[in-house]
Amino acid sequence: MSDIITVNASGLSCPQPVMLTKKALSGLEHGHVEILVDTATSRNNVSRFANNKGWNVEVNERDEGGYKLILTK
């Protein structure tokens, strides 16, 4: 329950960030998953996918560039 799953999808072309997110979320009823992405497009795509699956998404800009998306349910 307290385990945090982190997925680094930075730099990957569409649709791989969403595919990795889907893989990370599959079978999870609830939890805390962090997805790293580098572009606004991937940020939006992953957020939309997670929202559609009923996950809350918190977007954080990273100091080194890109975004950390915190998915919770």
Partner 1 sequence: MDKSLTSKNGPLIAGGLIGLIAVALAHFGNPGNMGFCVACFTRDIAGALGFHRAGVVQYIRPEIPGFILGSFLSALFFREYSPRGGSSPAVRFGLGMFAMLGALVFLGCPWRAYLRVSGGDWNALYGVAGLIVGIFIGIVFLWKGFSLGASEKNPKAAGLIMPLIAVSLLALLFLAPKFGENAPVFFSEKGPGSQHAPALMALAAGLIVGWLAQRSRFCTVGAIRDFLMMGDGYLLKGIISFMIVAFCANYALGMFKPGFEGQPVAHSNQTWNFLGMVLSGLAFTLAGGCPGRQLIMAGEGDSDAGIFVLGMIAGAAVAHNFSAASSGAGIGAYGMHVTIAGLVFCVFVGIFCREKGE
Residue with Cβ nearer partner 1 (1 or 69): 69
CB 68 within 8 A of CB 58: no
Residues whose CB is less than 8 angstroms from the CB of residue 40 and which lie 6 or more positions away in sequence, other chains included: 67
Residue with Cβ nearer partner 1 (2 or 27): 27
Residues of span 6-65 touching partner 1 by CB under 8 A = 10-16, 18-19, 22, 38-41, 44-45, 48-49, 52, 64-65
Burial track 16-34 (b if 16+ CB lie within 10 A, e otherwise): ebbebbeebbeeeeebebb
The residues binding partner 1 (CB under 8 A) are 10-16, 18-19, 22, 38-41, 44-45, 48-49, 52, 64-65
